[in-house]
Amino acid sequence: MAEPSRSEIKQAFDERIAMQERDDWSAFVETFTIDAVYVEHHMGTFHGRDAIRQWLLPVMAQCRGWTYPVDWVAIDGHRLIYHWQNRLPGARPDGRPYGFPGVTIMEYAAERQWSFQEDVYNWESALVVLKEWSAARKA
């Protein structure tokens, strides 16, 4: 099988980002291969599309209205790495958004599917932001 082109990988990535923006997490899960591995350092490692679905759909149901701006993307061979922001709805009184950054490492399999994803972010920083955001919503 021929190596995927850089443009194929970027197009598959862009389609996946569009799914995130629509909160279409069922379609997002379908972009994983059957035997994919998803590493989420705080919540665990999930083996296989079904395990990813069982974990991801309930988690993302709690994140409706969040956005995930992408700061930069790097593609090397079949690997794609990108830096993103988790943005929660609303803003602080000074106008700054509630959010925290992270990096995702993915491996492209073929045909718009990914065999590996690892999300890296500082859980302690995320927790501070989540608590601040939750308190502001209650106020």
The tens digit of pLDDT for each residue in 89-103 reads 999 999 999 999 999
pTM: 0.93
The CATH class, in words, for 6-138 is alpha beta
pLDDT of residue 19: 97
Q: How confident is the model at residue 139 (pLDDT cuts 50, 70, 90)?
A: confident
HEC states along 39-76? EECCCEEEECHHHHHHHHHHHHHCCCCCECCEEEEEEE
Q: What is the mean pLDDT of the chain?
A: 96
| Per-residue pLDDT at 1 exceeds 70 | no
Q: What is the mean pLDDT of residues 18-45?
A: 97
The domain ranges of the chain are: 6-138
Alpha-carbon span 98 to 34, nearest angstrom: 34
- Spatial distance between the Cα atoms of 124 and 70, rounded to a whole number of angstroms: 21
Question: What are 62-89's pLDDT values in tens digits?
Answer: 999 999 999 999 999 999 999 999 999 9
How far apart CA 106 and CA 67 sit, in angstroms, is 19
Neighbours of 3 (CB within 10 A): 11
Q: Is 13 helix (H, G, I), strand (E, B) or coil?
A: helix
Residue type, 20: Q
Percent of all residues in the chain with a pLDDT value above 70, rounded to a whole number:
99
Position 13 scores a pLDDT of: 98
